[in-house]
């Protein structure tokens, strides 16, 4: 049986917690307003434990401006968030029924 290089094991140990974090960052919410000019979206979101944040309505940036074309007020979404350069940023989302 071939030996697994230590560097691969180390990489795996680094990646696994990152995956777990990405899952925890999933939040559900409702789109309240889309601002294409400012490239921002207002979302009424549920609690975000990873940011120690209760449910509230707030403004997010988006990772890519094109994401705004797929969002409109009233949409219910599940989304992932990262804090990029101090700004809460929607990294991905999917529509909820
Ligand atoms: Cu918030």
pLDDT digits (tens, 9 = 90+) for 47-81: 998 899 999 999 999 999 999 999 999 999 999 99
Which residues have C-beta within 8 Å of that of residue 10, sequence separation ≥ 6?
A: none
Distance 69 CA to ligand 1 centre (A): 22
Q: Per-residue pLDDT for 23 more than 50?
A: no
The listed range with the strongest mean pLDDT (3-7, 13-17, 25-29) is 25-29
Distance 85 CA to ligand 1 centre (A): 16
- Positive or negative torsion for Cα 62, 64, 67, 68: positive
pTM of the model: 0.75
Provide the CATH topology of domain 6-95. OB fold (Dihydrolipoamide Acetyltransferase, E2P) (2.40.50)
Phi-psi sector, 86: left (phi>0), alpha (psi -120 to 50), beta? left
């Amino acid at each position: 049986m071939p030996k697994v290089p230590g560097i691969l094991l180390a990489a795996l140990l680094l990646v696994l917690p990152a995956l777990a974090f990405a899952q925890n960052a999933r939040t559900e919410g409702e789109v309240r307003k889309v601002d294409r000019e400012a490239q921002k979206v207002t979302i009424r979101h549920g609690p975000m434990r990873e940011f120690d944040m209760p449910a509230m309505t707030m403004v997010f940036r988006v990772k890519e401006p094109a994401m705004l074309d797929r969002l409109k007020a009233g949409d219910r979404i599940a989304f992932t968030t990262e804090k990029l350069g101090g700004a809460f940023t929607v990294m991905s989302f999917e529509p909820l029924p």
